[in-house]
């Protein structure tokens, strides 16, 4: 008789610039989420942790006084589900040239520190989380999962920035982000639609507070809307998306705006918030749009740009077989999906209104040449899967 496979409990940590998401997974014969939560509004009054315990069927919220990382670890250590944790996986937004997840070592931490100028919004918090776990639980293996890895093999023509060639050697290229989400979506697409669909011409639309699109064929990223930083591409909640570089020079001359102030503006004061003047949340803007012209304009701009990017990627791929919506907006806003797809009939994209309104998994009509799907993304699950692979915790695990 073969010995029973030992169960492991894994912690996935997703550190952002103003929030930290986490999830606990039990990994035995399958990978199953048992708890998740989020520390929100970091750096602002009222920072608190919201959590769901899926085993006990309860949820709640607690204030997070003091340093958010230490407060989170202290809270986790008091949870019964944390006691058996055997590994921690971290989302690392900027992986530079790395194409695979890897075990955290002192050398890797030094590398991440050197890379901080490429991502000052995310890497400091991610390094802080790694070091905090290392200090308090030194024997706990940690794995770094890189958000840029999915796009590492993009064709050179999609990676090059049209600036003097010497800057490429300094790392100024298009990296692309949301890679953990895209990796998860491609695995799920293969599961629900088959290998042939996942190997076809696919456009992935991760639409949330951070928003991007990716063009994929043969299971590989061919292009993506985010670039050297996550601020590029589609208009987002507080990020500008693509912007004429002349704006920076104009504001420096007219208002004396410093580079740091400009970065603050394009990352935290622009996008839907900047256009509307009221909110970065699409739900708020849709509710206001009938009586607020600026809110309506922000919604129009978001939908217009998403439609434009989909059309561009259909051209880059030589057509499209599958369009996938994901992210908070992509998964939960049927009106926005409908508006984005309304002008794409020439590509064979046709939406079934009833199925779209119900957030069905497949929202295209039978007559449409393109399968339009809604897939709920799960970056933390992708982190857990990566930890299992890197540490060799089980070759026959399935996912619930």
Active site residues: 147
Beta strands in 56-140 (DSSP E): 58-63, 85-92, 102-103
Residue 331: Cβ within 10 Å count: 18
- CA 201 to each of CA 176, 309, 319, 337, 363: distance values in angstroms, whole numbers, following the listed order: 18, 15, 7, 19, 18
Count of H helices and E strands in the chain?
A: 15, 14
- Sorted by sequence, the CB contacts under 8 Å of residue 197 that are 6+ apart come out as 189, 190, 321, 322, 371
What SS3 class is residue 63?
strand
Q: Report how far residue 84's alpha carbon sits from residue 279's, in angstroms, rounded to the nearest whole number.
A: 41
Q: Report how far residue 119's alpha carbon sits from residue 263's, in angstroms, rounded to the nearest whole number.
A: 11
- CA 179 to each of CA 49, 98, 123, 205, 300: distance values in angstroms, whole numbers, following the listed order: 26, 12, 16, 12, 27
Q: Are 224 and 214 in contact (CB under 8 A)?
A: yes
Q: Are 184 and 379 in contact (CB under 8 A)?
A: yes
């Amino acid at each position: 008789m073969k010995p029973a496979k030992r169960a492991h409990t894994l912690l996935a940590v997703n550190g952002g610039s103003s929030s930290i998401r986490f999830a606990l997974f039990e990994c035995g014969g399958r990978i199953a989420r048992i708890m998740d939560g989020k520390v929100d509004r970091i750096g602002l009054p009222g920072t608190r942790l919201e959590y769901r315990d899926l085993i006990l069927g309860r949820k709640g919220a607690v204030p997070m006084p003091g340093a958010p990382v230490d407060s989170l670890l202290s809270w986790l250590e008091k949870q019964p589900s944390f006691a058996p944790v055997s590994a921690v996986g971290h989302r690392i937004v900027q992986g530079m040239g790395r194409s695979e997840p890897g075990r955290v070592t002192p050398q890797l931490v030094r590398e991440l520190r050197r890379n901080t100028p490429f991502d000052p919004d995310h890497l400091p918090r991610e390094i802080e989380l790694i070091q905090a776990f290392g200090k308090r639980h030194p024997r706990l293996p940690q794995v770094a999962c890189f958000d840029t890895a999915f796009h590492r093999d993009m064709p050179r023509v999609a990676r090059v920035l049209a600036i003097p060639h010497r800057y490429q050697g300094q790392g100024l290229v298009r990296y692309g982000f949301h890679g953990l989400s895209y990796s998860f979506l491609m695995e799920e697409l293969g599961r629900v639609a088959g290998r042939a669909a996942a190997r076809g011409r696919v456009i992935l639309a991760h639409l949330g507070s951070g928003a991007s699109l990716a063009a994929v064929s043969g299971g590989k990223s061919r292009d993506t809307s985010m670039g050297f930083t996550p601020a590029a591409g589609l208009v987002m909640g507080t990020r500008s998306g693509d912007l004429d570089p002349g704006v920076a020079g104009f504001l420096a001359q007219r208002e004396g705006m410093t580079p740091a102030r400009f970065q603050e503006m394009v990352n935290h004061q622009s996008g839907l918030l900047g256009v509307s003047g009221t909110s970065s949340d699409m739900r708020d803007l849709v509710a206001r749009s009938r009586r607020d012209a600026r809110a309506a304009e922000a919604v129009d701009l978001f939908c217009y740009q998403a439609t434009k990017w989909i059309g561009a990627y259909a051209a880059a791929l030589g057509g499209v077989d599958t369009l996938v919506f994901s992210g908070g907006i992509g998964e939960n806003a049927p009106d926005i999906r409908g508006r984005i797809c309304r002008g794409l009939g020439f590509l064979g994209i046709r939406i079934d209104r009833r199925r779209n309104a119900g957030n069905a998994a497949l929202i295209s009509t039978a007559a449409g040449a393109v399968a339009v799907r809604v897939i709920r993304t799960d970056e933390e699950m992708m982190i857990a899967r990566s930890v299992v692979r890197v540490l060799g915790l089980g070759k026959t695990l399935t996912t619930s």
